[in-house]
């Protein structure tokens, strides 16, 4: 399955760190207070060690740790900057950042009932980043990526199988959570682990709230047969990359028909130009 998940951030005007006019410690601490659920002190300490590459690789469970809220008032600017980029602007999209955002997401997820979460500290090049046990005694392996490519996927599946054998932990589900991905990932092909045939689930992080189209919109490219459903794309850049690969080039106009796939759509709904430009397919 392909699923999109969204980090839980209150509605506010999000800016990249470099465009913030006020980068004072007080202002950053105020903005970081929007992280939800709140980080505990143990989680914060572990996160900072993870980004610094400190400590040996190990799976940590926070269930039995103290739940005291993290004290960010004494953090230096570089640590506040890191937290802002990971959880508020979400401009930092490496494997570790995606892993910690997904960990936060698991705290309030309703897709399944979480009993315990283990996070793989210092897991930069490892296959399994999170292990989740659900209330109905299912085990879920979660692997995070910045950009998931086909070659990454093939290596990941082999790594998960080997990890399962070594640790003698056999998953009931496998979730792959990249920030972005390409459309050639063969998630329709099952993999076998301990006599189980598993279908990996692709959960794509949805980070662009400013895309100029909605999931129910029809996107029409020129007068060609390239008509696209808005729900297949998460942002404009992703859409334009796809169009570039599937046209001959030249003057391109993308027209949006709002609500085309909605049950309330009407044939007479007006279309509007969403993007217009030139795509060159040859070097000049």
Whole-number Å distance between alpha carbons of 111 and 16? 30
Rounded-to-integer distance, Cα 267 and Cα 148, Å: 38
Distance CA 201, CA 148 (A): 13
Same domain, 14 and 149: yes
Q: 167 with 30, same domain?
A: yes
Whether 132 is covered by a domain: the verdict is yes
What pLDDT, on the 0 to 100 scale, is given for residue 283?
Answer: 56
Tell me: do 14 and 134 sit in the same domain. yes
- Assess whether 62 and 147 both reside in one domain: yes
Q: Is residue 210 part of a domain?
A: no
**What angle in degrees, to the nearest 10, is found between the helix axes of 41-51 and 95-106?**
160
Q: Rounded mean pLDDT of 54-83?
A: 86
User: Is residue 49 located within the same domain as residue 167?
Assistant: yes
Cα–Cα distance measured from residue 219 to residue 237, given in angstroms and rounded to the nearest whole number: 14
pLDDT value at residue 224 = 78
* Residue 210: Cβ within 10 Å count: 7
Residues 6+ apart with CB under 8 A from 153: 176, 185, 186
Residue 46: count of CB within 10 angstroms of its CB: 20
- Bond into 37 cis (ω within 30): yes
Is 45's pLDDT higher than 60?
Answer: yes
Average pLDDT score over residue span 236-263:
86
Between residues 236 and 255, the one the model is more confident about? 255
**DSSP category for residue 160:** H
Residue 192 maps to a domain: yes
pLDDT above 70 for 268: no
Tokens at 64, concatenated: 């039995």
27/77 same-domain check: yes
Question: How far apart are the C-alpha atoms of 181 and 152, rounded to whole Å?
Answer: 10
The predicted pLDDT at position 209 comes to: 60
pLDDT at residue 188 in the model:
86
Quick: pLDDT tens for 74-119.
899 999 999 999 998 888 999 999 999 999 999 888 788 999 999 9
Q: Does some domain include residue 284?
A: no
Of 205, 235, 252, the domain-final residue: 205
Helix (H, G, I), strand (E, B) or coil at 46: helix
Sign of the dihedral through C-alpha 47, 171, 152, 167: positive
In-domain check, residue 243: yes
pLDDT band for 10, please (50, 70, 90 cuts): very low
pLDDT surpassing 60 at residue 212: yes
Residues 121 and 225 in one domain: no
Tell me if 196 is assigned to some domain. yes
pTM for the model stands at 0.73
> Is the pLDDT reported for residue 8 higher than 70?
no
Give the C-alpha separation, 200 to 182, whole Å.
15
Distance CA 84, CA 134 (A): 30
Query: Which residue did the predictor score with more confidence, 248 or 45?
Result: 45
Residue 232 lies in a domain: yes
Q: What is the pLDDT of residue 213?
A: 86
* Contact yes or no for 156/176 (Cβ under 8 A): yes
Q: What is the pLDDT of residues 121-173, one digit of tens each?
A: 876 667 999 999 999 999 999 999 998 989 999 999 999 999 999 999 999 99
Q: How many domains does the chain have?
A: 2
Say yes or no: 270 and 150 in one domain: no
Q: Are residues 246 and 116 in the same domain?
A: no
For 165-196, the pLDDT digits (tens) are: 999 999 999 999 998 887 788 888 999 998 89
Range of the domain at 79: 2-205
pLDDT for 102 equals 95
Question: What average pLDDT score do residues 271-284 get?
Answer: 83
Q: Do 201 and 222 belong together in one domain?
A: no
pLDDT digits (tens, 9 = 90+) for 217-248: 899 998 778 888 887 777 788 788 889 888 88
Mark whether 183 and 233 lie in a shared domain. Answer: no
Claim to verify: residue 108 and residue 196 sit in the same structural domain: yes
Evaluate whether residue 211 is within a structural domain. no
């Amino acid at each position: 399955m392909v699923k999109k998940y969204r980090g839980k951030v209150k509605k506010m005007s999000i800016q990249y760190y470099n465009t913030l006019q006020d980068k004072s410690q007080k202002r950053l601490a105020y903005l970081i207070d929007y992280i939800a659920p709140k980080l505990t002190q143990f989680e914060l300490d572990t996160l900072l060690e993870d980004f610094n590459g400190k400590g040996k690789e190990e799976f940590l469970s926070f269930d039995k740790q103290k739940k005291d809220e993290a004290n960010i008032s004494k953090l230096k600017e570089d640590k506040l900057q890191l937290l802002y980029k990971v959880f508020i602007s979400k401009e930092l999209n490496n494997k570790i950042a995606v892993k910690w955002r997904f960990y936060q997401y698991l705290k309030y997820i309703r897709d399944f009932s979480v009993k315990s979460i283990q996070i793989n500290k210092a897991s930069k090049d490892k296959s399994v980043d999170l292990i989740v046990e659900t209330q109905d005694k299912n085990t879920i392996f979660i692997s995070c990526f910045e950009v998931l490519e086909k070659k990454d996927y093939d290596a990941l599946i082999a790594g998960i199988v080997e990890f399962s054998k070594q640790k003698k932990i056999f998953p009931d589900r496998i979730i792959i959570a990249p920030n972005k991905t390409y459309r050639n990932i063969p998630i329709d092909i099952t993999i076998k682990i301990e006599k189980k045939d598993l279908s990996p689930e692709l959960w794509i992080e949805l980070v662009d709230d400013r895309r100029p189209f909605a999931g129910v919109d029809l996107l029409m490219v020129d007068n060609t047969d390239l008509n696209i459903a808005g729900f297949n794309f998460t942002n404009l850049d992703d859409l334009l990359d796809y169009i570039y690969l599937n046209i001959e080039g030249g003057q391109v106009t993308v027209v949006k028909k709002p609500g085309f796939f909605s049950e309330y759509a009407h044939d007479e709904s007006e279309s509007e130009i969403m993007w217009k430009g030139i795509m060159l397919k040859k070097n000049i």
